[in-house]
Structure 1
């Protein structure tokens, strides 16, 4: 019997040209089913960039959320810093909130 993640991956792979919305939808659904997928969120983000899809605010929220739930502090900080330095976008309230979660989960309360 197929599970939801398997079906989601199958449908996602059937899309010939994936845009930012496709990537965000796939990532969002994957994350909704399993919060412990931080490394997979980062791999998906890297693949998205390799295929030249442009991340947006929703993309960064999803990736930072994955980092938060998986306690990936260093990677979360790199992604957060890249929002403005690499993508000429200012982090929004959701991005800051997830960075507080990332730092709080590893007891970096002063930094949070």
Structure 2
């Protein structure tokens, strides 16, 4: 049986993975619409070379961080990590929402 701490780790991992997938998908969609441009030179190069590689790299971060979170399981460090995930989610939503709403994509 999973402890509540373990459930919190799994849920935060899934949320972070979904947010990263959403970010990658919206990035590719925004680029396709001409609404945005990728400012990160490494990601821009990956997108130009192979969008599948871009998605793999983009989704590898939450997977690696999920493993780190699972290993540390210390409550104080876990709280810190969960706050980082929450901040990332807020930044992601604000960034994507800004260009989606400003450019009247819908």
Q: Same fold (TM over 0.5)?
A: no
Structure with the bigger percentage of helix: 2
Higher relative contact order (CA 8 A, sep 6+): 2
Task: Give the TM bin, normalised by the shorter chain.
Answer: under 0.3
